[in-house]
Structure 1
Amino acid sequence: MAERFAELLAHDGVIRGLIGPRETPRLWERHLMNCAVLGEAIPSGVTVCDIGSGAGLPGLVLALARPDLEVCLVEPLLRRTTFLDEAVDALGLDNVEVVRGRAEELHGTREFTVVTSRAVAPLGRLADWSMPLVREGGHLVAMKGSSAHEEIDAARTTLQRLGAGVVEVLSLGIGRIDPPTTVVRVEATRPSRLRWNPSTSRGSAGPGSTGSNRSRRPRSRKKGPPS
């Protein structure tokens, strides 16, 4: 199944502009394995939301590597959700839901044990979009690079406001991939009760936003996981 997904990325993913053609020779080490090891930071049998999922990295890869997880892929752009829907059908996955929308549109209506992301935004903005979706005791698990510690320092005020508990930097896949995957894991210490108010978000909407303040109702797969 992972090999089939790699083929989809290398063909349809490139044609549709979801992944650069220069990335195809290094799909496995730079993208698939890099995302698959994220499972080391996620407990068994929980719900996962991947915001700004794009081509399904890391969310769809997690669903392949960890069939015990219920994964919701949140992506605002139609051409990307179309690809994700087609990939889910082609791979026969029954543990994946695809939602077209911005993360903020789910605030106050959905919550998950883990919220993931990859190359979406600096940690401060990412926390504003992600933490309201994390249930109490759950975690934000964001894939980051060498600037992870600097991003944490810059986001401390925001993290405190959002009720963050333990914040840590983890290296995943040691001995399996080189270099290891760096993630920031943020504990949620209070219930996710925040709601997004579109009228206060002009010009600062979520990943992939066009800047519109008009909320769109998310389009979901019927066979997806419960909230």
Structure 2
Amino acid sequence: MSDDVSRETPSVPEAARRAFTSDRLSVAEQYTELLATEGVLRGLIGPREADKLWDRHVLNSAVLGEAIPSGATVCDIGTGAGLPGIVVAIARPDVTMTLVEPLLRRTTFLSEVVDELGLDHVDVVRGRAEDLHGERTFDIVTSRAVAPLDRLLGWSMPLVAPTGALVAMKGRSVHEEVEAARGLLETWRCSDPEVVELGRDVVDPPTTVLRVSWADPSRIGWPLARIPDRGRQQKKRRRTRREAQ
């Protein structure tokens, strides 16, 4: 990381002591400092967001851990600067986290953060969610402000293990998104979505998440979630070659 960034790091709020254990709080401070400095310098975080990092970004991502089972494998698609994936990995060292992000400048930052903070349980993958379809599945697939539910289903559900779930951070329009995606939820053979508010004693307003699982784990809606698609793999290789040029 660069040493010539002078932006002042936001002070640690008292609520952070409720979101992180004492041995993980210092790691969360380091990450927030990196967001406020390198993150702003590299254009990953807007300058106006630097003073709001704890309340608007870090704490509301940390409470997502309340919805993740112990020892789970987690995939954060479109993670950007590591929100919520890096924060969850800091708060929950028991999980195995995979960060998926297509842009090189972001994955470069993420890899540097993982190394600097010693997050050995975090893997950074440069690519799109579709690149992992048919190759890997996870207990939890999460995202933050990536897309409406109708599009998010197509990216996320092929990555959800038979007994896993999509757990996406959402805003005020979550109920409208659910209604708009009713038909697709049936097509994908998903269970009824559950809207949950997390972190009432940490963030105000609480973090809203949408949880979607398979209606019947023995009969998931997309068999290619377990069988590689040669055509998709060929497209992936062609795109990788173009991006490398």
What's the counterpart of residue 224 of structure 2?
A: 194
Asked if 1:81 is matched to 2:107, the reply is yes
Residues of 1 paired with 2:65 and 2:192: CA distance? 19
What's the counterpart of residue 52 of structure 1?
A: 78
What's the counterpart of residue 216 of structure 1?
A: 240
Residues of 1 paired with 2:42 and 2:67: CA distance? 31
Name which one, 1 or 2, has greater alpha-carbon Rg: 2
Asked if 1:24 is matched to 2:43, the reply is no
Q: How many residues align?
A: 207
What's the counterpart of residue 204 of structure 1?
A: none
What's the counterpart of residue 6 of structure 2?
A: none
What's the counterpart of residue 140 of structure 2?
A: 114
Residues of 2 paired with 1:173 and 1:67: CA distance? 18
What's the counterpart of residue 158 of structure 1?
A: 184
Determine which structure has the larger helix proportion and give its number: 2
SS in 1 for 2:69: coil
Taking only the aligned residue pairs, the percentage that are identical comes to 62
Residues of 2 paired with 1:198 and 1:124: CA distance? 25
Q: CA separation of 1:156/1:213 partners in 2, compared to 1, >3 Å: closer, same or farther?
A: farther
Residues of 1 paired with 2:204 and 2:238: CA distance? 43
Runs of 4+ with >6 A deviation:
196-200
Stretches of structure 2 lacking an aligned partner (at least 5 in a row): 1-26
Stretches of structure 1 lacking an aligned partner (at least 5 in a row): 201-211, 218-227
Residues of 2 paired with 1:197 and 1:22: CA distance? 43
Within the candidate set 147, 157, 168, 1:142 is matched to 168
Report Cα offsets for 1:73-123 as digits up to 9, x if no partner: 000000000000000001011110000000001000000000000010011
Residues of 2 paired with 1:157 and 1:74: CA distance? 27
What's the counterpart of residue 38 of structure 2?
A: 12
Report Cα offsets for 1:145-189 as digits up to 9, x if no partner: 010000000011112212211311000001221010001100123
SS in 2 for 1:164: coil
- TM, length-normalised to structure 1: 0.86
Q: Offset at 1:130?
A: 0.2
Asked if 1:68 is matched to 2:94, the reply is yes
Contact 1:105 1:216 in 2 (8 A): no
